[in-house]
A and B are shown apart, each in its own frame.
Chain A
Amino acid sequence: MAEGKETRRISFSLSDAFRLGYDNIKRRFRRAALIVAAITLGIAFFSTLSLMDAFFKAYAQAEGSSLQVESYQYWLVLVSLAVSVVSITNSMLIAVYERYREIGTMKCLGALDQHVLKLFLVESVILALVGGALGFGIGLVASIVSVGFTIGFKVFSQTPIGAILILFGETVSLSLILSTAATVYPAYRAAKLNPVEALRYEI
């Protein structure tokens, strides 16, 4: 059969996914902003405490103080991150419902389940990068203000630049992990959508 010899290629490259994902975020800006806010808030709290901890440690080494972040505060961070994950999942699920027809159409045009999955995960990565960076920025300001007013701004003469950069990397990674974890289920729902039902769906 001649058919078998044709190269049956279906593709959706990462750069295509980024382009479509970016377009979509721009267009549905309010929903994206909501998701970014959920990430930013959790990450801001996390990075405030970890930056304060870094400042205290640097200060303690230089001046011999025993200031530190209390362990119960880390529990609060954990709870706030969990709340972030839940609200990202919630927003993403609504985003999937809003885009039922769009997903159905893409499947009619030849998109595979994995392409839909990829699109949603890529969007979540973009939002996580923005939210992570924003959250870290807020955390940096908050921790400087907080530490500065409790023990004085002289602390920052021993600013641990290296430690802050490492924390930035860790924070953005955490943001990526949380956002991806929160998006897996909604993205899977979208990918498994039956195109016949999706196209019949009216919002």
Chain B
Amino acid sequence: MKSDNIIETEDLARYYEVGGETIRALDGVDLKVRRGEYLSIVGPSGSGKTTLFNMIGGLDRPTRGKVVIDEVDISQLDAYELAWLRCRKIGYIFQTFNLIDTLTALENVALPTIFAGVPRDEGTKKAEAILRSVGLGERLNHKPLQLSAGQQQRVAIARAMANDPAIVLADEPTGNLDLHTGTEIINLISELNKARGMTIIAATHDLKMIGVSDRVVWMRDGKIERIENGKTTP
């Protein structure tokens, strides 16, 4: 039986030593993320949003506390299992898109399926279907630099979906986009959340992103300031 919480963090902390000074990027975060919810994390830059993402994604190890994903404490996982987690369970969307310039949109989206061991034809077909679903059916063989910023972020979203992850981590997905494109991207992420039941965690300091979320976590100085319910209009 699976618990209702897909992610739980317990007293999660990450300190860095910079020039003999301790920086508390995260300082005791207890967070429970419900399966299938759209959670926004809001806070000024330096409040620990990205660090929290790195912890949940298994990219960085905590100084103290733990992260439990689907009832598995990820600090107990070895490198192979962590890679598997990043590949199959978690999709990433970055502020800077981080597409691979040498590959076409189609190849970028198919890349995670290679690591997942999906046969090439199947992976390509799937990547094509996802790209069509995000409205890029006409841009399959374009390289990232031939696409607009909004289109690049759509490719990145399609890539995050490629292995049907249970969790999608979006770190400032609209940070490099204009208002109109940003809204489109948020609506797209929100649609994917509803249509595919993926749990979305989106960090932002962009208040228009909050409207689509089920809950909003306010962070400051590495701590959770408060958690409130989003979608004030039912």
Contact = CB atoms under 8 A, between A and B. Distances in A.
Contact of A11 (B57, B107, B115): B115
A24 B102 contact: yes
Range class of the B interface residue count? 20 to 34
Interface residues of A, number: 30
Given A196-B60, A199-B94, A109 B84 contact: no
Q: Is chain A's binding surface mostly helix, strand, loop or mixed?
A: helix
Interface string B57-78: 1011000000000111000000
B100 interface: yes
B19 interface: no
Nearest to B111: A109
Interface of B: 54, 57, 59-60, 70-72, 79-81, 83-84, 86-88, 92, 94, 96, 98-103, 107, 111-112, 114-117, 120, 159, 163
Interface of A: 1, 3, 8-12, 16, 20, 23-24, 26-28, 101-102, 104-113, 115, 195-196, 199
27 contacts: A1-B71, A8-B81, A8-B84, A9-B84, A9-B116, A10-B87, A10-B115, A10-B117, A12-B115, A20-B103, A28-B102, A101-B96, A102-B101, A105-B100, A106-B111, A107-B83, A108-B98, A109-B92, A109-B111, A110-B83, A110-B84, A110-B116, A110-B163, A111-B115, A112-B83, A113-B79, A199-B98
Given A8-B84, A10-B80, A115-B115, 18 more contacts: A1-B71, A3-B71, A9-B116, A10-B83, A11-B116, A24-B102, A26-B102, A101-B96, A102-B100, A105-B94, A105-B98, A105-B100, A107-B83, A108-B98, A109-B86, A109-B159, A111-B115, A199-B98
